[in-house]
Amino acid sequence: MMSNMLLDLERKSQQLFDEWKYLLLQEKCRLCKRMIHPLIEKMDFDSYRPPARYFIGHKEVVSDVICQFCLPDLSSFQAVLRKHQTVRCAEGMDELAEFLVGSAAVFMEPIQSLIYSLKYSEDVLLAKDLACLMYEAWQLLREEITEFDDIDSLCLVPVPLHKKRLHERGFNQAEAIARHFSQLTSIKLERRVISRIKNTKSQQTLSKSQRASNVAGAFKAVTANVFADKTVILIDDVCTSGATLVNCAQASFAGGAQSVHALTVAFVP
């Protein structure tokens, strides 16, 4: 009986916290631009919408910046898995290693605008929603991964920015997404284990071959055994040609990773 009372108290406390949070934040849905409030059924304003709710395993995650009415526009995409190859150094010789990249959606509207808002407008509140959208891709990937025994052998590694780009932007969007994804899945987040040693050009306007050349040798593991016996899951916002992830995977193998795969919010077909 006491446990039921405590659960009821916890639920009411969370509800009260949510009500005050939305009143204080006064955030608009990033898609329809209407104000978000959890008690919309008690309010008679056309401009208000209830927040989106994601169901991640047994968890319910409430959005701060996407409303329930706009959620179908995001969740209608189908997650996909694609295969890529990278070079793996083993016993003094190079071999090709295959790795999987899971993506939540095609890089098109409205996903594209949300990623750009996070990346270029510092709308960091969107990182939680993008991490939630990536969960379906993780479920597909998890079914295919056979190299790990338990969750402790996994680690999330956000694709790093060069220190100059990080200083200019102020944050790493891949790390912001990875931080929330770690909270959702309980997979350990590893930061600063791969460094970007080349300040590469923006990949946006480059051809596929130029992209590969641009990021070649751009990443390096901090030590030769930083990923010993680990399955590394790289995290990034978008996979276009795959060149960035391929080179990041190569650095992960050089750091002792048993296997490497990746998750992104979106991909370019």
Residue with tokens 């959005």: 63
What count of residues does the chain have? 269
Under the banding of pLDDT at 50, 70 and 90, the label for residue 150 is: confident
Q: For residue range 227-266, what is the model confidence (pLDDT) as tens digits?
A: 998 999 999 999 998 999 999 999 999 999 999 999 999 9
Query: What CATH number does the domain located at 77-267 have?
Result: 3.40.50
Q: Please give the backbone phi and psi of residue 89, each rounded to the nearest 5 degrees, phi first.
A: -85, 125
pLDDT of residue 118: 97
Q: Averaged over 174-186, what is the pLDDT?
A: 97
Under the banding of pLDDT at 50, 70 and 90, the label for residue 19 is: low
Q: Averaged over 83-97, what is the pLDDT?
A: 72
Position with higher pLDDT, 87 vs 101: 101
Q: Would the pLDDT of 101 be above 70?
A: yes
Structure tokens at 219: 């990443």
Which range, of 138-152, 179-193, 197-211, averages the lowest pLDDT?
197-211
pLDDT of residue 3: 56
Q: Would the pLDDT of 93 be above 60?
A: no
Q: Averaged over 18-39, what is the pLDDT?
A: 75
Average pLDDT, the chain: 86
DSSP 5-42: HHHHHHHHHHHHHHHHHHHHH-PBPTTT-PEE-TTGGG
Structure tokens at 146: 């056979």
- CA–CA distance, 123 with 64 (Å, rounded to integer): 11
Position with higher pLDDT, 151 vs 2: 151
Strand partners, 157: 234
Q: For residue range 30-78, what is the model confidence (pLDDT) as tens digits?
A: 999 988 877 655 554 566 888 999 999 888 999 999 999 999 999 899 9
Q: Record the pTM.
A: 0.86
- CA–CA distance, 11 with 21 (Å, rounded to integer): 15
Amino acid occupying residue 200: T
pLDDT of residue 26: 75
Which range, of 93-107, 116-130, 161-175, averages the lowest pLDDT?
93-107
Q: For residue range 188-234, what is the model confidence (pLDDT) as tens digits?
A: 999 999 999 988 767 666 666 767 676 777 899 999 899 998 999 99
Structure tokens at 236: 């990034």
Q: Averaged over 128-134, what is the pLDDT?
A: 97
Residue with tokens 């169901």: 55
pLDDT of residue 154: 95
DSSP the chain: -HHHHHHHHHHHHHHHHHHHHHHHH-PBPTTT-PEE-TTGGG---TTEEPEEEEEETTEEEEEEEEETTTHHHHHTS--EEEEEEEEEEETTEEEEEEEEEEEEEES-TTHHHHHHHHHHH--TTHHHHHHHHTHHHHHHHHHH--S-SSGGGEEEEEPPPPHHHHHHHSS-HHHHHHHHHHHHH-PEE--SSEEE-S-PPPSTT--HHHHHHHHTT-EEESSTTTTTT-EEEEEEEEESSSHHHHHHHHHHHHTT-SEEEEEEEEE--
pLDDT of residue 128: 97
Residue 109, Cβ density class (10 Å: 0-12 exposed, 13-18 middle, ≥19 buried): exposed
pLDDT of residue 199: 81
Could you tell me the residue ranges of all domains in the chain?
Answer: 2-72, 77-267
